[in-house]
Amino acid sequence: MNFRQLIDLVEKEEDDQEGLKGFDSRTMRTLAKVRAQYPNAPDDLSALLRHVTNVDRDSDTADEDHVSRIQELEDRVNALEKMLRDKN
């Protein structure tokens, strides 16, 4: 299913089910951006999965950086506490 078919399907579902909403315009724009980032993806689902995988990897990297910074700050606090104890 290509992007245009997905849009047509969503619009048809919105027409068929008045009380139930499909994708809003913001979601459709975001999907179009993701599809543009991964033009070699065979379909929209593959593009979304690649995007989620990359975001997850980037999140893991950021988490590791934060953990290392927190550990460094904890080590510095421990060193300062030791210095203060030694002076008393």
Higher pLDDT, 38 or 2: 38
pLDDT at site 2: 67
Number of domains in the chain: 1
pLDDT at site 19: 42
pLDDT at site 20: 37
Give the model confidence (pLDDT) of 17-63 as tens digits.
444 356 678 888 888 888 889 989 998 889 889 999 999 999 989 99
The residue range of the domain holding 19 is 3-87
Find tokens 């203060």 and name the residue.
84
Phi, psi at 4, each rounded to 5°: -65, -40
Taking the C-alpha atoms of residue 50 and residue 52, their distance in angstroms, rounded to an integer, is: 5
Q: Is the model's pTM score more than 0.95?
A: no
Query: Tokens in use for 88?
Result: 């008393």
Contact between residue 32 and residue 20 where contact means Cβ atoms under 8 Å apart: no
pLDDT at site 3: 66
